[in-house]
Amino acid sequence: MDFFDPNRPDFKPYGLTCVSWKPTPMGRPDHHNEIELNLMSKGWVSYLLGGSKVTLSAGQLGAFWASIPHQVIDYADDTEYFVVTIPFSWFLQFNLPEPFTQTLLKGVLVNQRLRGRVETEAERFAQWEFDLTDAPGEMQDVVLLELQARLKRMAHYAQQEHLLDKGSQDSKTALQDGSLNKVEQIACLIAQRYLEPLTSESIAKSVGLHPNYAMNLFKKTFGTTLVDYITHHRISHAQRLLITTNDKILDIAMASGFNTLSRFNEAFRRSCNCTPRQYRASQHAMRT
């Protein structure tokens, strides 16, 4: 089974994959420009996904855009599930119903209950895992066609169950609802308000902690500073705008929570090893 490597570079793509996955504590969020599917065969796993705490349990199939920072925060010891990653540009070429695509782009996890068909789905995912490992060159197109069909079925289910009418704000977890510890509350608050001016003082006050204690606790738990965590979310937000809009770079910088274009360019280059303009050009080239 595969598991998350905390040392993998930020935004490094996984490509087209299907693997049996083992949940492990994640010291930082992961994000990569792919659509991710999670098929839960056994147990359960909880994520922080774009400011929401979401849980997938056995018998469920979840889909989300993995450019949204996501982080495993809890799971059952016996959890078994498959993870599929589909390059974002290939996903767009599936021409799925627009409401389904837009729901994912808003950072919402679409969750389908399989209603007793878990074993059949698991066999399908196991076949994809075998195909992409044993003969990736020969079977890639076959797997993509089957993934396209599976996602069309999922989009139909989501429409029937009225899952596509909910905006991303509807799934936000209340910070004081008792289901989150202090560090999770901080991470959730940042994920929900990263576009606003945030300071360690304002964050700590919101969760009832002293600023120094909050910063140290967060760094100890997630292995990153509050500033870097906020920047992480802002860069991810900018990536989505660069891909999905034709807005000017300056406008995207401002809309992503950066005060100046120079600060945005510096942070983006440090995170992505390219300029925002180069990133947009590379993504557009992949889609044509």
Range of the domain at 86: 17-168
**pLDDT the model gives residue 287:** 53
Condensed to tens digits (0 to 9), the pLDDT of residues 55-102 reads: 999 999 999 988 788 889 899 999 999 999 998 778 878 989 989 988
Percentage of the chain beyond pLDDT 90 is: 51
- Average pLDDT over all residues of the chain: 86
How far apart, in whole angstroms, are the C-alpha atoms of residue 113 and residue 203? 36
Please check whether residues 201 and 83 belong to one and the same domain. no
Average pLDDT estimate for 152-174: 72
Question: Which is it for strands 80-87 and 70-75: parallel, antiparallel or unpaired?
Answer: unpaired
Average pLDDT estimate for 224-239: 86
**pLDDT the model gives residue 286:** 58
Tokens representing 40? 């839960």
Condensed to tens digits (0 to 9), the pLDDT of residues 271-288 reads: 888 999 998 888 766 555
pLDDT at 166 over 80: no
In a domain, 9, yes or no: no
**pLDDT the model gives residue 98:** 87
pLDDT category of residue 244 using cuts at 50, 70 and 90 = confident
Give the CATH number, domain containing residue 231.
Answer: 1.10.10.60
Condensed to tens digits (0 to 9), the pLDDT of residues 24-60 reads: 878 778 878 789 999 999 999 999 887 678 999 999 9
In a domain, 6, yes or no: no
Could you tell me if 83 and 18 are in contact, meaning their C-beta atoms sit under 8 angstroms apart?
Answer: yes
Those residues with Cβ within 8 angstroms of residue 3's Cβ, 6 or more apart along the chain or in another chain: 21, 22, 23, 24
**pLDDT the model gives residue 112:** 96
In a domain, 194, yes or no: yes
pLDDT at 9 over 60: yes
Give the CATH number, domain containing residue 144.
Answer: 2.60.120.10
In a domain, 282, yes or no: yes
In a domain, 2, yes or no: no
pLDDT at 107 over 90: no
In a domain, 135, yes or no: yes
Q: How far is CA 282 from the centre of its chain?
A: 21
**pLDDT the model gives residue 36:** 97
Tokens representing 143? 């797997």
Please check whether residues 76 and 125 belong to one and the same domain. yes
For the entire predicted model, the pTM comes to 0.66
pLDDT at 177 over 50: no
What is the total count of domains within the chain? 2
Please check whether residues 151 and 179 belong to one and the same domain. no
